[in-house]
Structure 1
Amino acid sequence: MQKSFIALLGAFVMALTGCTEKSPADNLTGEAAKNLQGTSWQLVTAQPAAKEGDCENLPPVMDFLEDSKVAGNLGCNLFNTTYTQDGKNFSFAPAATTRRMCSPEAMKLEGQLLNMLQSTRYLTQNEKGLMFWDENGKLLAQYEPEKAGQCQ
């Protein structure tokens, strides 16, 4: 009788422990992003900075607009979508894009960024910029404030 009570108690404790499991959002760097409307961000990349007037090698950008809308450039094509946010929880609706063909490198980056948009489940912000995370707490991309003087 005592052994079955201890086994039952152990199962109960394990069940409670499972209920209090931390969310990946609890371990993310930065705070929940706030006041996104009217802000513009560019992808943090290892590519060399574009020279003034060079509109071919600019990093992808993302503009947060009114009514939870987002528009920008994926490195080759333009995109627009909407988002939902609740604290750090964040997701994009499927994006609409233009259909230009660019260099293989630009198309590869664009594919990665479209996957990032689909996989984002959390968004945080710190002094370095915005960080997009997947459901497991893996960093997908980091954006910094867009620098003035970029080509439009």
Structure 2
Amino acid sequence: MNWERLSERPGMDPYLQELALFLDAHFARTFGLLWPENDPAVPRGAGGPPDTALAGYVAAGLTSVLGWKVEHATGARPPSGHVLVIQSAGSSRWTLRSLGDPPAEVPTLSGEALYVPPGYRCSAVHSDDARHVFLVVTGPEE
């Protein structure tokens, strides 16, 4: 990916730039946690509840920036595959397990993003006000 060209795009949402860089760095390697410096610029009236609007905005933006397929996944548990979890409210403590490795404990707070590659099983304990957006990412070679 040509990151110099990406940073020169006028009007590019810095939040989407951060997520794109983060995904490109971690994709198909290991899990990762992002504490973004920016908030997403979800347009007013983006339709649906806030989490649905956020999911649609991020999925469309990352698809455009990366050229990869990014889709919103619904449900209470993360789907399989390459998963980006955006903690939209509250907090969670994720336990990630990969075959042959000890479990990793990863806390997330509102606004943070967690990438979970295939091969990791995960479980979580959530605060009462926790909400998440799950996105499934299909990379260029898949």
Report the TM-score when normalising by structure 1. 0.27
Name the structure, 1 or 2, with higher relative contact order (CA <8 Å, separation 6+): 2
- Which structure has the bigger radius of gyration? 1
TM-score normalized with structure 2 length: 0.28
